[in-house]
Every structure is written in structure tokens, then in C-alpha cells.
Chain A
Amino acid sequence: MDGDSGWMMQHAWLIPALPLVSFAVVGLLISPYWKKGAGVIATLSIVASMVCAYVLAWEYFTLYPAGGEHPILVPWSFEWLRYQPGLAANVGVLVDPISLLLMIVVTTVSALVHIYSNAYMHGDYGFGRYFTFLNLFTFSMLGLVVAPDIIQMYVCWELVGVSSFLLIGFYYNKPSAVAASKKAFIVTRFADLGFLVGVLLLSFYGYRIFPDWSAEVGAVANGLAGTQPVDFQYLNDPVFLAKFAALDTTFLGISLLTLSMCLVFMGAAGKSAMFPLHIWLPDAMEGPTPVSALIHAATMVVAGVYLVARLFPAFAFSGTAALLVAYVGAFTSLFAAVIGTTQDDIKRVLAFSTLSQLGYMMLALGVSTAEHTLGYTASMFHLFTHAFFKALLFMGAGAVIHAVHTNSIWEMGGLWRKMPITHITFLVATLAISGIWPFAGFFSKDEILAAALGSGHYVIFGVAVLVAGLTAFYMFRIYFVTFWGKGRGAGAAHAHEAPALMWMPMALLAVLSAVTGFFPMAEYVHLGEAEGHHGINLAVVIPATLFALIGIAMAASLYIGDGHRAVALAKMLGSVHQTIKQKFYIDEVYLFITHRIIFHRIARPIAWFDKRMVDGGVDASGWATRSGGRALSLLQTGQVQTYGLWFTGGVAFVVLILWSALV
């Protein structure tokens, strides 16, 4: 480590540690006794962590200024578990531009959501529990972001999944919430199975190749002696990748590198809700709205994108895996945007829009290659801006729901007069996500489109432009229906502005959504040579903006007023509209597969076996254990003579064993 690295750099562990400590303290000591304190302490810890993240970023970029070389540092780590010599899992903090970016996003959004939640959850049953889980989530997410090796990443990955599960099912007396939390957990766990196999493949072959690699790159001489076979720095090393890809072993004709990257991507797709594993995210909206803002919009769902970015050199080396990422991303973004145009629940629209934007980020990563890395920057840029405007959209939706006590946009309307601040901030975010200049989304989306065009993926470029138009359409659809026109429901009549604790974080996010687009991301986040911010590329800007404006215009013509034109259009489209509204019946397909095939043909017999054989066995073993204990406790007669007898018997036994080994 450099001697002149700053204090924060050496104490970078504080960033995830603060929420962890607060989680333990709040969960165990405070929340049962002092509800209000739980919120305050949880919030303060996240704010402190946020400050630390800012200081860390400042120190890093002072050390390595923008536009220059940005090395990967591991300023703090220790060996946690040594499996065998040469294979150990470290726990540590990895600092590089993208981990800093994520740290800033996570801590900032989390801090704002914490503040917002103090008002939103006020008086709710389980207030303390809520903040405990929120802290647990923030810790896990930060632990994931700073992971220097794939093992820590995996552990935190699962922790993130658990806290998401806990928060989706937060209202545990609501059956739909419980069902949604189970769905989310099962779908992501299924995806994680792929991830786990990928991790095992990577670490197994990483361990096998490690000695060769170490000899070839002169690990000891180059100060890489402490590297472990599961470290990202090693897994992304071109020498290792070349050796791994050149292995003779293949699986169904795919190289092991591609196979393991595809498996890792399966995990990423689960967490980032890529088609066809996207089905859990819309249902996850059953959780409290601030949770949706934090976990299911800004942070956790981008973990998959982050994972792909973290292993980007490996994906790019494989090529095939990167293409898979690109096409899955592109398809998801189009698919989700189409569904988004027909949904009536405001949070569901936002959920589908999140899917669509995540697809954007994935496709940007997928189209970039080792030489053409603009997509990598663009993806991270979009992640950054999206976190702010999407969190803002959810918070705005939360404020609206809080005020009108319904999720259906058709029971809202005319809210702009009653909730002016919410209205303005929501409008800013809507403009940002639609990609209108000069809001943040314009710049990041522009860069993604440029990357797709520049890498020669014209189909993907076309899809992305189309999605830009669709995004503008469905976003303005809910905007017009919610805020314009006349109040339609009983709730809408009595709506009132959100309290200050809620609108202040929203205002702050609105400012961020408006200005972060001007941030010169390419100077900070890049691979290899920094590609200068390419300025305005008219071939990209004109179609994108044109489509967005068309989308807005269509939304305006259909939904300003009483919406009879929309109804007429829906009727005209008939079954097409119905299909889209039912989300292409994907859920029904899953239901069919799971219920008819898995449950009936497979699960029932297994359940029978489980109940009769396994449960019986477990019960029997518990019974046997207890009665064994009882029987053995009879030996303890309380008589010294008996004890002496046992002792002597033991000695005789030892002599016999030793002697029999001898004679």
C-alpha cells in the first residue's frame, strides 16, 4: 500500500461496518425498547457511512486523478478461511472506480430512503424491525460492492437476497406479500444455484491454473504474492483467462470459460430480473414503497449489472457470454417496456420500467468488448443516473400512495394542485428517464445508444431506440393520469402534500436527477484508455429524442382528458392489448409448469416420500437422540464405585487397543 494513502483508505472497512454495527445494535438492543431511536440510529449510521464513502472517493481520485490510470486497490483485507494452502478466502475492501461509484450510489440512496422512511413508516407496526432489516440490507449490499473476491461476493449476494426477502414480506399478515416474498426468494435462489456452480467452476479451475499463472506473471516478484485464486484481480487477469479458455475440457462444445461466465450471468440475471427470471420483481412491489425505491429500483437489482461489470474482462474474453448478456438485456428492455404501457398499478409500471432500464445496462455491457469499452462506461453511467431518478420515482409514487391510499392510477388524478412538490419532482424524474435534454437520463442513455451503434450491433441499437420511445410513452402515461385531469377516487380528493421528511429527500434526488448527466463519467470509469466524452452524436441523439417526443405526444393525446381515446385504442387492439396487459402470460406459463408439471408429477410424490420417509426419519432420529440421551444418563448413577469401575474399564480398553496395535 502506498504510504501516502489517506486515513479513509486504510479504514475503508468502516463503510460496510457502520451499517453492520448499527444493524446489530438496533436489532438487538434498541428496536424492542425505543422505536423512535431505532429509526434515528439506523439513519445516522447510514449517513456516517455515506460520508465515509465520499471521503474515500475523494482520496482515491486525489491519488489517481480523473482521466488517468485507475488501478484496483485492496487497501484492507485479511485471510478469513484457509481451505488449504494456496486457496483461501479473504475478507476485504476493494477500491476502484466502479466500486466507489456503487458505494456512493448505495450509501446516498440508502441514506435518503432511511430519512424518507422515518416519516413514511411512522406509526407502522414493526417500525424497529423495518430499520433493522434496512440496515442489514445496506450492510450486505456494501459488502457485495466492496468484495475483493468471488467468495465474499457470493456470501453477501445471498445476504442481500435474504434481506430483500425479509423486506418484501415485511407485512407478513398480508398473504400477497408473503407469496411475493417467497416468489422472489425462490426465483433468485434458483438463479443463484447457477451462480454457485459458476463460482465453484471458477475457483476450482482458478486454483488449478494458479501455480502456472503465478510462475508466468512472476507473481512474487510483481508484488502479487498475496493474490488468491478466487480474487477478482486474478480472475480478470488476461493470462489466467487465456489459460482457462485454452483448457481442453469442454462442456457440450462450449469452453469452460464461457460456461462458467454463462452460469455467473444466470445469477446476475436472477438478481437483476432479466427475462425469463424477471417474474419476481413486479410482485416484489408488495413491500413498503421505500424498500422498492432502495432495493428493487436503485441498488439490489443493479447487483447483477455490477457483477457482470466486475467480471467484465472475463465476459469480454469469452465473447459468447457477452453476446448472451447483450441479447438478454435488449430483449428484456423491450419486453418490459411493452408490458409497462398497459399496467394500472403505479408501482408495477415503475417495476417494469426498472426491468427495462436494467436491460439497457446489461445490453450496454454486452455490446462492449475488450477494445471497444464505451458500453462499460455507459452502463455504469446509466446505473448511476438511473439510481437517482428511479429512486425518486418510487419515492414520489410512495408519497402519492401515502396520500391517496391506493396504487391504481385510475383512482388518482389532479394531484398536481394538492401535491405541488411531489408533482415537480416526479416530473423531473419522468423527464430524466425519458431521456430529455438536459436531464441525467439523456446523457447516459445517449451513451448506451452510441455504444450499441459504435460496436455495430444495429438490431440492438434499433431496439434500444424503440424502447426509448416506449419509455417516454408509459412514463408520461402515468404522469398525466396521476397528476393531471380531475380527481377520480375518494382518496384523491383528500390528498395532501407529503411531510418535510419525505419531500426533502425527494427534492435532493430531483436535483441529482437533473444535473448528474453533466458528470464526466468517462474520465473516471473506463477500461484501458479513457475514451473522451464523445459530445453530442447526432446520429444517436436525433432518433432517440425524436422517439421520446413521439412517445410523449402519444401519451398526451391519449391520456390528457378523460382517456376515452385510450379505451377506444385498447378495444381496437383487443386481444393484443389483453396479452400485453397480462404480461404475455409469462406468469401463467410458470404457473402451468410449476403447478401442473412440477407439483403434480414431481413434487407430490416427493412430498409423500418426504412426509412418510424423511420426516418420519427425522422425527425418529430426534426421538432416538432424546431417548439415547436418557438411556445414557442412566449410566450416571451417582455412585463413586460405578464411576471408578468405568474409569478402570476405560484404562483396560486403552491398554487393549494399544497392545492390539502392537502385537
Chain B
Amino acid sequence: MSIIIPEIIVLATAFAILIADLFMNERTRVYLAPAAVAGLLLALAVMVVHTPASGALIGGRFTMDAAGWWFKILFMISALIAVLLSMDTLDGRARVRVRGMGFRGEYYSILLFSVVGMMFLVSARDLATLFVSLELATLPLFVLAAWRRDDPKSGEAGLKYVVLGALASAFIVYGFGILYGLTQSTDLETIAQRLAGERAPAFWLAAALVLAGAGFKLTIVPFHMWAADVYQGAPTPVTAYLSVGSKAAGLAFAFQVFYRIFGDALPHWDMLIAIFAALTMTLGNLVAIVQHDIKRFMAFSAISQAGYFLLGFLGAAEEGVPAMLFYLLVYIFSNLAVFACIIWFENETGKGQIEDYRGLSLSNPLMALGMTLALFSLAGIPPLSGFVGKFFLFSIASKAGFHGLVAVAAVNSTISLYYYLRVVRQMYIEPVDERVPAPGSSVSIGLSLALLSVPVAILGILPTVYEGIHAATIAWLASMPQG
């Protein structure tokens, strides 16, 4: 029974916030965010201390495994930080008021519902649960993206996201339908067994449809088009959550699909994955260079990072899976750290162009340092965690014989260094803009940045985390149905 307790705690928190919101006034609603944080912390604690890394409930329809354990931890951490980053904006503590960001109770509760959806996603063992939980994970994101109702950009972002999301979901459902038709089962293990050695054309069609759906969530080129507009238009704290939560959910979905359903065929898709990886990182990087809006810039950076993730699907799962999970961990921490600074800066100055960050190292050295650290980690500069994460992924691709791809990835890393350094240059070399008042500080954002910077700096040096992930995924792979 204990394996579902974290989900129940998060769910209960969501409902409690939703109901409590009805009986609160504007003044007391500031306690909603701490309540959400408390609920997530409790769930995290139960997860870490109490939840075993394997088990099954409801006749095997809800299961727990070692990789899922890591995923759930990551989802909850992302949500936790997202709540911390949203607090200032929603409670009106921002110096430059962001208009139209009300409905705190609803905001936090559907954020938590999205986490619940992601957590069920990794525990799903049948097509129906997989699909419904994927929808539960993403539907709140559509709504959150459109949250700023007085900002047409936000509404536009929400609409674009929901239309394209529906398109992706339609493709996934179509694919699932064909899979069911081929195997007469919704159970993932049974499907995998019956699909073993299956080479019917419809199988490939189904695979392509499901791959496209996973590509949408992971922002793989050419399924990435929504990302830039949605990232830019959505309220910035939502963008922060979107950039990590959606990607983590996408990776979890990809793991479910690739390793549980198509595990047998995955080795034959190396070429396809390599093409997508090369396309994704190149396009994301090239377009990021010419951006001026920092959120849009981060959107293309996130797209290019997705290309690096794909490298992990090449070669043996025993190495690829831990490398991808580790890089996800690194990516989440680094990206959220960058967004913490972006949100803080927007709250304090109301500005969001890269050029607006000039002289930040003088007006607030700590924030500038945190952001630099995180950007360097994303660029993969040793000894920061991003370097080690990329190193693992690159070495997998090179071991799988994709030397050309590794060369492309290395060139892309160099390009990315250029544009990440653009931001750093603004902060450290350009003179401060005297007309802009010096930004103040924020407790919740400062706290989250501090919490994030430490792992960004040390994850690459401490081997324990990677070893933990490695051990977990080996156990996870051992539990896979042998197709």
C-alpha cells in the first residue's frame, strides 16, 4: 500500500488547497503556497524514507520501480521549486506587479494535479492509464500557460499549446489504438510480448505515431514548434515549470514507450534517433543565437538540450538510461536555477531582454553568480554537473559508433557556449544601466537559487548520485519484460 502514499499526499494537498481557498480572503491566501510546499515536502520525505523501490497495487495496474522512484522525486522537486518561484508573483510581492495573475488556490492545486498526473504516468502499466495520466499531466499546463488573462500573449500561448497538444494526443491515441488492434491487450507487458518480432507495417505506423507524441513532449525537432511561443507567452513561473516538468514527463513517457513497449525494436531505430538528435540540437542552437527575449532564448536552449538527451537512447540501455536520468537531474537543477534568476529579474525590473541583464554582476553579484553557474552547467563546462552529464551521453553515442553525431554534438556544445556566454557577458562585462533602479532581493527565489546552485556545482564531482541512479536503473532494467 505504501507505494501510492506520496501520490495520495500530493492529491490531498491539492484538494485541501482548492477547498481552503474558498474560505480564505486575499490576506490569508498567502498561506496557500507554504501549504503546497509543505505537502510536497511531506510527499518527498515519505518517498525518500518510506517508499520501497518496487511493488504493485490494484492488480499490477499501479506499480513502483527504481527508475520511477527517481522520476517521481524529480517531478516533486520541480513542482516544489516552481511553487517557490511563483510565490512572489502570485502574492503580489513583485516590485513590478504582474497583472492578471490571480486565483492562487486554483493555480497551486492544478499545478499539483499535474504532478499527480506525471507520477501516475511512470507507474502506469496499461495503455489507458498511460494515456489518461499523460493528459492529466499536460492539461493543467495548458491552463497554466493561459493564466495571465489580461495578457493576450499568455492566452495565445495557452491556445497554441492546447491545439498542438491535442494534435499530439490524437496521434498518440491513434498509435495506441493500432497497438491494441495488433495485440488485443492494453497491458504493456502483454503488448511487448505479443509484439516481439512483430514487423507488420501497422506496427511501424503505430511506432511512428507514438514516437511523434513523445517527441512533442520532449520538444524534438520537428515536433518542437509549440515550445518557443508557449515558453515566451506563458507567465514566467509557469515557463520555468514547463521547461522542466514537461520535459521530465516527456522523458518518462518515452521510457515507458521505448523500453516497455518497443524495447525489442529500439536497437533498430538508432539511425532515426541519431538524425533527430542532430536536427534538434542544431536547430535549437542556431535559432537560440539570434534571440533577444530571454524566455524565448531559454526555449531554444531547452530544445537543443533535448537533442542531447536523445543520445542516451543509442547503444545499450544499461548505460543510456542512467546517463539520461542523470542528465535530466542536472538539466532540471540548472534550468530552474536560470529561471529563478529570470523570474526574480522580471519581478524586480519588469524586463526580460538579454540586453537588460547588463551590469547585473555589480547590482546583484550573488544572483549573477548563480545564473552564470547554471548557464555554464547547461553549456557543459567542467567541472560543473552539466559537463559530466554531457560527457556520459557523448560517450554512449561514441561507443555506439556514432562518431559523426558526437562531432555534431561537440560543435553544438561550442555554439551553445557562445550564446550562453552572451548572457554572462551582459552581466559581467557590460556597464550597468543607470536608469534602471537596482533590483532588490527575494526570500523565496533566493532560497530556491541557493538550493539549486549547490547540486549544479557538485553533482558532477560527487559520484554517489550517479551511482545511485545507475544502480536503480540496473534494477529497473532487470524488471523489464524480456520480449
Contact = CB atoms under 8 A, between A and B. Distances in A.
Complex A–B touching at CB under 8 A: yes
Contact of A647 (B199, B201, B216, B288): B216
A32 B365 contact: yes
B283 A640 contact: no
A654 B208 contact: yes
Interface string A594-633: 0000000000000000000000000000000110111011
Contact of B229 (A638, A644, A654): A638
B411 to A, nearest CB: 10
Given A81-B391, A629-B288, A629-B290, A650 B222 contact: yes
B171 A636 contact: no
B160 interface: yes
B289 A625 contact: yes
Interface string B347-391: 000000000000000000110010000000000000000001001
Given A640-B163, A642-B225, A658-B207, 14 more contacts: A628-B286, A629-B285, A629-B290, A636-B225, A636-B229, A640-B159, A643-B226, A644-B163, A647-B168, A647-B225, A650-B212, A654-B211, A655-B205, A659-B201
Contacts of A658: 204, 207-208, 269, 272
Nearest to A29: B365
A649 B212 CA distance: 10
Given A647-B225, A651-B171, A662-B199, A633 B369 contact: no
B163 A629 contact: no
Contacts of B222: 646-647, 649-650, 653
Given A650-B222, A657-B271, A643 B164 contact: yes
A78 B383 CA distance: 14
B253 to A, nearest CB: 16
Contacts of A661: 268, 271
Interface string A25-48: 000110011000000000000000
A171 to B, nearest CB: 22
A79 interface: yes
A167 to B, nearest CB: 22
Contacts of B209: 651
Contact of B275 (A628, A636, A647, A657): A657
A545 to B, nearest CB: 52
Contacts of B212: 647, 650-651, 654
Given A626-B289, A633-B287, A657-B271, A647 B164 contact: yes
Given A640-B164, A650-B222, A625 B286 contact: yes
Interface string B280-306: 000101111111000000000000000
A655 B205 CA distance: 6
B225 A655 contact: no
A651 B213 CA distance: 9
B287 A28 contact: no
A339 B204 CA distance: 81
B228 A636 contact: yes
Interface of B: 159-160, 163-164, 167-168, 171, 199, 201, 204-205, 207-209, 211-212, 215-216, 221-223, 225-226, 228-229, 268-269, 271-272, 275, 283, 285-291, 365-366, 369, 388, 391, 415, 461, 463
Most chain B beta-carbon contacts within 10 A, residue among A630, A638, A650 = A650
Given A650-B223, A654-B212, A629 B369 contact: no
B133 to A, nearest CB: 22
Nearest to B156: A638
Contacts, number: 96
A655 B209 CA distance: 8
A659 B463 contact: no
A626 B463 CA distance: 38
B369 A28 contact: yes
Contacts of A649: 222
B372 to A, nearest CB: 9
Nearest to A651: B212
Nearest to B464: A78
15 contacts: A32-B365, A625-B286, A625-B289, A626-B289, A626-B290, A629-B286, A629-B290, A643-B160, A643-B226, A646-B225, A647-B212, A651-B209, A654-B207, A657-B272, A658-B269
Interface residues of A, number: 35
Q: DSSP class of B's interface residues: helix, strand, loop or mixed?
A: helix
A640 B208 contact: no
Contacts of A662: 199, 201, 204
Most chain A beta-carbon contacts within 10 A, residue among B223, B228, B366, B463 = B223
Interface in A329-380: none
A215 B7 CA distance: 52
Contacts of A646: 222-223, 225
A366 B199 CA distance: 70
Nearest to B269: A658
Contacts of B366: 29
Nearest to B265: A658
Nearest to A646: B222
Contacts of B286: 625, 628-629, 632
B331 to A, nearest CB: 20
A169 B275 CA distance: 48
Contacts of B391: 81
A662 B208 CA distance: 13
A633 B283 CA distance: 9
Contact of A632 (B164, B205, B272, B283): B283
A18 to B, nearest CB: 16
Nearest to B368: A28
Given A629-B287, A632-B287, A644-B164, A650 B215 contact: yes
* In the complex, the 8 A-B pairs of residues with the closest C-beta atoms, listed nearest first: A643-B225, A629-B286, A654-B208, A650-B222, A655-B208, A658-B204, A629-B289, A651-B212
Contact of B204 (A29, A642, A659): A659
Nearest to B166: A644
Contacts of B159: 640
Contacts of A78: 463
A643 B365 CA distance: 40
Contacts of B225: 635-636, 642-643, 646-647
Contacts of B171: 647, 651
Contacts of A630: 290
B170 to A, nearest CB: 10
Contact of B167 (A80, A625, A647): A647
Contacts of A653: 222
A78 B467 CA distance: 12
Contacts of A644: 163-164, 167
A25 to B, nearest CB: 11
Contacts of B207: 654, 658
Contacts of A651: 171, 208-209, 212
B247 to A, nearest CB: 18
B223 A647 contact: yes
A565 to B, nearest CB: 60
A4 to B, nearest CB: 25
Contacts of B211: 654
A80 B168 CA distance: 41
A28 B427 CA distance: 13
A646 to B, nearest CB: 4
Contacts of B205: 655
B243 to A, nearest CB: 17
Nearest to B387: A81
Contacts of B167: 644, 647
A32 B366 CA distance: 13
A651 B226 CA distance: 16
A330 B407 CA distance: 48
A640 B212 CA distance: 17
A629 B228 CA distance: 14
Contacts of B160: 640, 643
Most chain A beta-carbon contacts within 10 A, residue among B167, B204, B285, B365 = B204
Interface in A403-448: none
B408 to A, nearest CB: 13
A649 B215 CA distance: 13
A644 B164 CA distance: 7
A657 B270 CA distance: 11
